[in-house]
Amino acid sequence: AQKITQTQPGMFVQEKEAVTLDCTYDTSDPSYGLFWYKQPSSGEMIFLIYQGSYDQQNATEGRYSLNFQKARKSANLVISASQLGDSAMYFCAMRENSNDYKLSFGAGTTVTVRA
Amino acid sequence: DVKVTQSSRYLVKRTGEKVFLECVQDMDHENMFWYRQDPGLGLRLIYFSYDVKMKEKGDIPEGYSVSREKKERFSLILESASTNQTSMYLCASSQSGIGTGGGSYGYTFGSGTRLTVV
């Protein structure tokens, strides 16, 4: 079964607007962490933001925020005030306490920011 | 600046060749991982290692093996390369231990090796 589902293969967003990338996950482990990574065309994976399953507040890092809805098992990434440099592929990933050190990744969403 | 370094950015090999992909990290991390990335499939775990000389199969280990003789180095080996192993290969490392809520110990990735098998 797919642990991480990203249903949006690609998205277009206008510069300076906000964009929401969807991520749903599947786990029966009460203790887990959720990550978002950015992969520009150069190929490197850049860590953006982390949310722990016991965290009471939604995580924020600069223009990135994570809309964590635990009951719905969703962890959407919101990018505010999009910039041309935000054009990249974005991956949602999960690490479960019961699954040692492994991250499970979604298929990714390609974001293209238009001027 | 801490780094995970993959020896080759682009590689072209012939079917049947034995291929070595090398990865070195300078962060003293216990855990190291090899993923392959294919369009529409995301990243899939091939093998990982949580200590020197220790290895565990990931989700798609068939056709691959690994070696970890030193803490900082994790090698992926394609015993007999095939065209369906054409892919982007990403190495990563992480600290050991699980913190609250699954741990905030994410991965540090290398820049990837784009392997083409012809």
**Span B60-102, pLDDT tens digits:** 999 999 999 999 999 999 999 999 999 999 999 988 765 444 4
Question: Could you count the other beta carbons within 10 Å of the beta carbon of residue A42?
Answer: 10
> Residue B40: its chain A contacts at CB < 8 A?
9, 107
Decide if A104 contacts A94 (C-beta within 8 A).
yes
Amino acid at A9: P
What pLDDT score does B106 carry? Answer: 72
Please tell me which residue of chain B has the smallest CA distance to A91: B42
Q: Specify the pLDDT at position B101.
A: 40
Give the mean pLDDT of chain A. Answer: 93
**B104 vs B12 pLDDT, higher one:** B12
Residue B102 has a pLDDT of 40
The region of weakest confidence among A74-83, A103-112, B100-109 is B100-109
Nearest CA distance, A31 vs chain B (angstrom): 5
3-state percent breakdown (helix, strand, coil) of chain A, nearest 5: 5, 50, 45
Let me know: does A107 contact A9? Beta carbons within 8 Å: yes
Does position B1 have pLDDT exceeding 70, yes or no? no
Beta strands in chain B (DSSP E): 4-6, 10-13, 19-25, 31-38, 42-49, 56-57, 64-70, 73-78, 87-94, 108-109, 113-117
Q: Is 90 exceeded by the pLDDT of residue A111?
A: yes
CA proximity to B5, closest of B27, B28, B21, B23? B23
* pLDDT score for B48: 93
Q: In the predicted model, is pLDDT for residue B103 greater than 50?
A: no
The least confident of A29-43, B52-66, B88-102 is: B88-102
Mean per-residue pLDDT, B25-49: 92
Contact B90 A45 (CB under 8 A): yes
* Closest CB from B41, B103, B111 relative to A44: B111
Mutation site, A4, A24, A39, A45, interface B, largest B CB count within 10 A: A45
Number of cross-chain residue pairs from A and B with Cβ atoms under 8 Å apart: 88
pLDDT band at residue A42 using 50, 70 and 90 as cut-offs: confident
Residues of A in Cβ contact (< 8 Å) with B34: none
A44/B112 touch (CB, cutoff 8 Å), yes or no: yes
Q: Is residue A58 very low, low, confident or very high in pLDDT (cuts 50, 70, 90)? A: very high
**In which residue are the tokens 């093998």 written?**
B47
Contact B101 A100 (CB under 8 A): no
Report CB contact under 8 Å: A43, B111: yes
Q: Who among A32, A43, A50 is closest to B112 (CB)?
A: A43
- Would the CB atoms of A96 and B43 count as touching at under 8 Å? no
The position carrying tokens 């065309």 is: A41
Hey, are the CB atoms on B109 and A44 less than 8 Å from each other?
Answer: yes
Residue of chain B minimizing CA distance to A32? B102
Instruction: Output B78 or B107, whichever has higher pLDDT.
Output: B78
